[in-house]
Amino acid sequence: MLPLPRRIAVGIDTVLDRTVAPGYTRVGQAIRRRLPTWPADPDPGALAGRVAVVTGATSGLGLATAEALARLGAGVVLAARDQVKGRRVQQELSERLPQAELQLARCDVSDLDDVRRFVDELDVPRVDVLVHNAGAMPPERTESAQGHELTMALHVLGPVLMTELLRPRLAGGRVVLVTSGGMYAQRLRADDPEYLQGDYSPTTAYARSKRAQVELLPVLDQRWAPEGISVHATHPGWADTPGVVDSLPTFHRLTGPLLRDAGGGADTTVWLAATEPVPTGGRLWHDRRARPTHLLPRTRSGDAERAELWEWVRAQLDLPPAP
């Protein structure tokens, strides 16, 4: 059989992406893996001697990411809020990967004071890969320890603060924000980042916070560029994780047979962490390809809205402006 021309392969990949289903399912990923445009896997041992920190590492995508990074040779810090569960997961991973260097550290990413403590106590001289995976979709409007709407605290404020505090140890490293395809349905609400207006919807709040992550990508990539830190975001498609089961039971019931496993959902995050050369930062990725950040005209944001959101984030975290 003659190889598929590259332009046709790109066209197939793009159609899968724009139609959402089946592109976000395990079917879409299986098709893409067979196209000539699918990038090569990272080399075995690609992360040997490197250190990776993964938040929300005790289940779902976070656990799959931590295990895959360890299999590539990285020493992995499992950052988890639930230490009982964390110790169990650490033990299970150690049994599967007896040569892996695994460290458990407590961190509630939504609590800014706990993020500061976590960074102060983190016992590693450097961080080569930082994966912001911790996430939640509370059923009603909930506030963090500092009084911020929880999804914005957990998905935006906490990750930005953690990265900012780790900048000296992250020099030359990579930061990956695990976002969600759900953000495509929402526009940036820089005018209401705390979701104080209108009736609260958990799925809308979640998607808004993920939209905020994606909108801030170029800002963060530019801010941390002086240290050689590249910033990326990935969305996993539709993956079968405990978070989906708990937060979206109807969706899980209807799409269950088509959902990717956690490893499939974490694939691009791991690829971005380990592939060489370092992909261009400030972009959104899905199935190892940079994707558009908007699919609908009504969700498009301008530079002014992005700047307004960044100024809000900077003010909440008391960060100095970039030089």
DSSP state of 130: E
Q: Is 109:53 a contact under the CB 8 Å cutoff?
A: no
Which one from 24, 184, 195, 206 is the annotated catalytic residue? 206
Q: For the chain, report the end-to-end CA distance as a whole number of angstroms.
A: 56
Is 206 annotated in the active site?
A: yes
Residue 277 DSSP one-character state: S
Joined together, the tokens standing for residue 163 give 């990265």
Residue 294 CA to residue 300 CA, distance in Å, equals 6
Strand order in the sheet with 51-55: 102-106, 75-80, 51-55, 129-132, 174-178, 230-234, 283-286, 289-291
In whole angstroms, what is the distance from residue 167 CA to residue 162 CA?
A: 9
Instruction: Count the Cβ atoms, other than its own, within 10 Å of residue 69.
Output: 30
Strand, coil or helix: 260: strand
DSSP state of 221: H
Instruction: Please state, in angstroms and rounded to a whole number, the distance separating the CA atoms of residues 247 and 239.
Output: 13
Position of tokens 């988890």? 80
Which single residue is written with the structure tokens 């910033």?
231
Which amino acid, residue 246?
Answer: D
Amino acid at 232: H
DSSP 297: G
For 158-167, b where at least 16 C-beta lie within 10 A, e where not — what string? Answer: bbbbbbbbbe
Active site residues: 206
